[in-house]
Structure 1
Amino acid sequence: MTQIAEFPELSCYLLPGHTTTPADAIEEARQAEAMGLGKVWLSERFDVKDAGVICAAALTATSTLRVATAATNIHTRHPLVLATMASSLHHLSGGRFELGLARGVAIRDQLMGLKSVTNAQLAEGIELLRALWRGEKVMGHEGAMGNLPYLSMGDWMDAEIPLHFVGFGKKSLGFGGEHFDGVHLHTFITDAGLRRAKSLIQQGANKAGRNPDDVKVWSVYATALNPSREDTLKKLVARMATYMQAPGYAEMLIALNEWDPAVHEAFKASEVVSSMPGGIDSVATLEQLEEISELIPQEWLPAATGSAEECADAWLNQLENGADGIVIHGSTPSEFAPILEAYREKRARR
């Protein structure tokens, strides 16, 4: 019988951010499993973070840990190739793989010569995947996913692979509830924003005639144990500031959290931001980050910070506000390990 993780509701990222050493994912996965986490997530990048390769490494290095993408895309692989990758990982691991999908980045799609993914394409794509995983034949398909004369993985195929939608826009949340098994949110969503997201997801599930409790909500929560001022600037301020630089990105967070858009306009108009030669988290100095921190209200940086006990309380608060699981963001397993001890004790008392 497969051993159940001590903390099935807790997870973290593999290879967070940019890396040139993808083999680190092997030890990170082993650490996460040893600490009792239920899942790890991989954000694919087109350099040395191929989803199939890294997830296979993590799954073969562990025995109970679930491994999910957060995310890859529906259109960067042919539907049969994507279905094959996922079913291979599913059978390789005894059913521990989960597929997280996102629409992708518009500018990257353009540079790759790809069209941006629509909701219709995404919905159609996942139904094709599910049909193939059930061993069905796809014949004469013409639609948003293209012209597909004949696709089959074999009649014997019977793989139930959870599908997660990675997104946080208001319309996207409802869409996720309609079509997916789970929704993976975004960093810096407030308690009220989390409750609002949960409601929108459940409304989508109800619209589709699904049980809303079957759609799991994963809160991505920045965590910094006893952060120094430099930690706060680099892990929180710089990350949020970089989101606020991206066209259309911060607007979705502002809408979900019901923040004042005027704060964002003042941020973009400031000299320190407008003169930045690249992403703030990549190029800003500590002195510049101090100046930028004055432009971002504290309530725009919801996170688990402080002592291990305070961080544990913050994690539990996410669960109490509608999250089914937490994706620990911005800290490595060794950094957040002390929080687990406090979390274990506090969870047992609730």
Structure 2
Amino acid sequence: MPDYGHELLFGTFITPGADDPDRVVALAELTEAAGLDLATFQDHPYNPGFLDTWTLLSWVASRTQRLRVSANVLNLPLRPPAVLARAAASLDLLSKGRFELGLGAGAMWDGIEGMGGRRLTPGQGVQALREAIDILRGAWDTSTRALLRQDGKHYSVPGMRRGPAPAHDIGIWLGAYKPKMLELTGAAADGWLPTLEYLQSPDRFTANRLIDEGAEKAGRDPRQIRRLLNLFQVDFAAAGRGFLQGPPGQWVEQLLPMVLDEGFSAFIIGRDDPRLIQMFAQEVAPALREAVARERARTGVPAASSRPAAVLAQRLPGLDYDALPPALAAHAVEPGDRDYERARHSYIRRGSPALVLRPGVAAEVADAIRYARGQGVPLSVRSGGHGISGRSTNDGGIVIDLSRMNSVQVLDRDRRLIRLEPGARWGEVARQLAPHGLAMSSGDYGDVGVGGLATTAGIGYLARRYGLTIDHVVAAEIVTADSRILRVDAGHHPDLFWAIRGAGGNFGVVTALELEAYEVADVAVAQLTVDADDTAGLLTRWAALVEQAPRELSSFLSVFGTARGPMARVTLVYAGDDVESAQHALTPFVDIGPLLGQQAQLMPYATLVAPPHNRHHGQGLEDTRSGLLHHITAEAAASMRSMMHSGEVSVMQIRSVGGAVNDVEPEATAYAHRSQNFSVIAATDPERVAHLDRHWADLRPHLDGMYLSFETRDDPKLLTEAFPGPTLSRLRRIKAEYDPDNVFNRNFPIPPARDVVPQR
């Protein structure tokens, strides 16, 4: 039999003895601590000497952080599949994707009947198991809202609501020995989970062949079925006494052909012996992994695909899915995958990428870039996916999704030095910094990802007091177009360090940022709802007060078109907890217009930007226009009034900048707009874009520059609005150095200078 290419797994088969439950749990915890992947437990509900397996699985999952858990195998006749589907998805969600479903047709029928189960013949058991698998998969499929209906001979569901969807694609591993069960394994399961000592007739070679034949008959690739193996008669000894009865080196020699020649990729030892578990984890598992990796590299065995046939059928012609490195393939999402609906869209824009890659470390990002460059399709990079410009998804291309790279660390509290990965959400950053008395200005919405905002500028609720987010970046890790992993700061690649603070999306994938945070605990927040019928007057009064206010105060004003006319919402944030000073700064704003509602309170900054964790499905306004204003003059306000009273523009938002933002010299970062006081954005529905453009053209003479991330047009002529002449010229030279082939060309692509020869 061939090597099917699966990643190797190593685990334990622990006896769930009720006489000493603490020892059972301790062995599972040891399984994790030793570095093994999986803890499994037999399921015999009729045996009063055993703990209930489902309760035990839940308890162990809660006591561990990384360990996968599974029954070995669950007794289906006593666990109805509709309820089992709900329980499995729930445990998978609670454990963050660490549950696998080992499942059996039933045995020891006297005990099953004694608990009220129905005795089945072997043929009936196979049919019941097939029906159960259909119910399980149907219940987990939330891509349709149709009720799940099945009229089976053994299990029926007249009209079951689907869901919840599990956290990952739960593997269904069958304990199978007889030909019909083996055929079913190939046709419908994700894995085969036998015990070596029970594989007699048919033997393991014939059984593997029957699984392959079952898969091919069902139109599946046999490589989709993982082969796992329980091993009971094992021990370590100084000298070899037989199969898996000897030193660790002998174990490796004897298990290696079972991987390379028979296709087994998971080995589970059934000895409740702490010493044996530790030696298996520390001396056998790493050595076998190394030996298998060496042989696979020599023979060119491709990584296995665990995708079902329906998913494989949707693969885009011309994209070499099989060439994905195993570490990327393990977390990749394709059309038809359960996670595809959650991975394909951004918050604003709907997309249909051919492949979403979800790397976990910088080296995997490098592999992803290397792979994507060889495919000849559009490449997008996503941190949080909220970006208004909508460029973090595409149609028919590849998305590098950084959501798994989401750590937040305080490196040095005394220096206020923090390290953020790009997939972290700013609301979570605020929450994790709060116990340290730190904060970082981060827009106005907690679901925004770190990567996009912190490489473009970062206009947030604390901007006038502390400046832009990029003004606090002191170092970064970036993977460039040629897959180099570079640390950039003032002393290392200073030109690239300058460029990523304002134009980061053009130069690579930023995989970590180091920033100097600032001391912020509570902030004073006021929310005003204002009748905006006198839109021009409201805007000029608000803007004048903002410019006169102390730097501690930043404000965002949004105007919405409603059936009764424009309505405004004003957010005022005073960066400090001095109530008297905050009140003095906030009070003048109650006179900007007729108030429809108001509230003010002192709150932690983390509460202000708490993440709602919204699901992204392209629900936003897809067309936006962005510009910067030095001041809101009467003429600019009149233009914006005309825009919002037309009924053709859905929303306009103005954000205050100035203050500390303008203390920075224009040439210090690639964001050169350091004299303006306001950023303005307007958005509307797709069918009214022409009207928006007409109104924007009227406002355009009053604008000076653009905030890149709020603009959805990609006209190259707009580059000089985002990057003034000297800035753009310098960016083009750096682009030619680090991305001469313009690999990163989705986010306001900067053309490389033609007269620069890249240095390596």
Alpha-carbon offset, residue 80 of structure 1: 2.7
Secondary structure at the counterpart of residue 38 of structure 2:
strand
Aligned identity (percent) is 24
Cα separation, partners in 2 of 1:310 and 1:139, compared to 1, 3 Å:
closer
| 1:64-79 correspondence to structure 2 within 5 Å | 64-79=66-81
Alpha-carbon offset, residue 131 of structure 1: 0.8
Alpha-carbon offset, residue 19 of structure 1: 4.2
Matched residue, 2:259: 319
Matched residue, 1:174: 183
User: Aligned partners of 1:45, 1:195: CA distance in 2, in Å?
Assistant: 28
Matched residue, 1:142: 151
Matched residue, 1:97: 99
Secondary structure at the counterpart of residue 257 of structure 2:
helix
User: Aligned partners of 2:112, 2:280: CA distance in 1, in Å?
Assistant: 39
Matched residue, 1:108: 111
Could you tell me which runs of 5 or more consecutive residues in structure 1 were left unpaired when the two chains were aligned. Answer: 1-6, 233-301
Cα separation, partners in 2 of 1:187 and 1:315, compared to 1, 3 Å:
same
User: Aligned partners of 1:100, 1:337: CA distance in 2, in Å?
Assistant: 24
User: Aligned partners of 1:206, 1:124: CA distance in 2, in Å?
Assistant: 20
Aligned residue pairs total 269
Moved more, 126-135 or 48-57: 48-57
Secondary structure at the counterpart of residue 324 of structure 1:
strand
User: Aligned partners of 1:90, 1:17: CA distance in 2, in Å?
Assistant: 21
Cα offsets for 1:248-301 (capped at 9, x unmatched): xxxxxxxxxxxxxxxxxxxxxxxxxxxxxxxxxxxxxxxxxxxxxxxxxxxxxx
Match 1:157 to one of 146, 153, 165: 165
CA contact (8 A) 2:230 2:269 kept: yes
Could you tell me which runs of 5 or more consecutive residues in structure 2 were left unpaired when the two chains were aligned. Answer: 1-6, 295-760
Moved more, 107-116 or 204-213: 107-116
Matched residue, 1:200: 210
Q: CA RMSD of the aligned region, Å?
A: 2.7
Cα offsets for 1:174-208 (capped at 9, x unmatched): 22111100010123248x93332222111111111
User: Aligned partners of 2:245, 2:263: CA distance in 1, in Å?
Assistant: 20
Alpha-carbon offset, residue 339 of structure 1: 4.2
Cα separation, partners in 2 of 1:68 and 1:57, compared to 1, 3 Å:
same
Match 1:122 to one of 113, 129, 133: 129
Residue 327 of structure 1 aligns with an amino acid whose one-letter code is I
Moved more, 217-226 or 93-102: 217-226
Cα separation, partners in 2 of 1:52 and 1:345, compared to 1, 3 Å:
closer
Matched residue, 1:60: 62
CA contact (8 A) 2:186 2:222 kept: yes
Q: Which has the higher helix share?
A: 1
Matched residue, 1:209: 219
User: Aligned partners of 1:179, 1:346: CA distance in 2, in Å?
Assistant: 29
Match 1:224 to one of 235, 239, 246: 235
CA contact (8 A) 2:12 2:277 kept: no
Secondary structure at the counterpart of residue 96 of structure 2:
coil
Matched residue, 2:30: 31
Residue 224 of structure 1 aligns with an amino acid whose one-letter code is D
Cα offsets for 1:6-63 (capped at 9, x unmatched): x95211112x264422333322222111222111111112234222211111111111
More relative contact order, 1 or 2 (CA 8 Å, 6+ apart) = 1
1:310 and 2:310 correspond: no
User: Aligned partners of 1:216, 1:323: CA distance in 2, in Å?
Assistant: 7
Cα offsets for 1:221-258 (capped at 9, x unmatched): 23111299xxx9xxxxxxxxxxxxxxxxxxxxxxxxxx
| 1:238-253 correspondence to structure 2 within 5 Å | none
Cα separation, partners in 2 of 1:164 and 1:327, compared to 1, 3 Å:
same
Cα separation, partners in 2 of 1:139 and 1:205, compared to 1, 3 Å:
closer
| 1:287-298 correspondence to structure 2 within 5 Å | none
Cα separation, partners in 2 of 1:12 and 1:220, compared to 1, 3 Å:
same
Moved more, 315-324 or 95-104: 315-324
User: Aligned partners of 1:202, 1:96: CA distance in 2, in Å?
Assistant: 27
Residue 138 of structure 2 aligns with an amino acid whose one-letter code is A
Residue 119 of structure 1 aligns with an amino acid whose one-letter code is V
User: Aligned partners of 1:310, 1:140: CA distance in 2, in Å?
Assistant: 52
Cα separation, partners in 2 of 1:171 and 1:341, compared to 1, 3 Å:
same
User: Aligned partners of 2:195, 2:228: CA distance in 1, in Å?
Assistant: 9
CA contact (8 A) 1:194 1:323 kept: no
Alpha-carbon offset, residue 112 of structure 1: 3.0
CA contact (8 A) 1:176 1:183 kept: yes
Residue 322 of structure 1 aligns with an amino acid whose one-letter code is G
CA contact (8 A) 1:72 1:102 kept: yes
User: Aligned partners of 1:54, 1:123: CA distance in 2, in Å?
Assistant: 26
Cα offsets for 1:146-183 (capped at 9, x unmatched): 443332245x6355321110122233212211110001
Residue 25 of structure 2 aligns with an amino acid whose one-letter code is I
Where do 4+ consecutive residues of structure 1 move more than 6 Å?
none
User: Aligned partners of 2:147, 2:192: CA distance in 1, in Å?
Assistant: 27
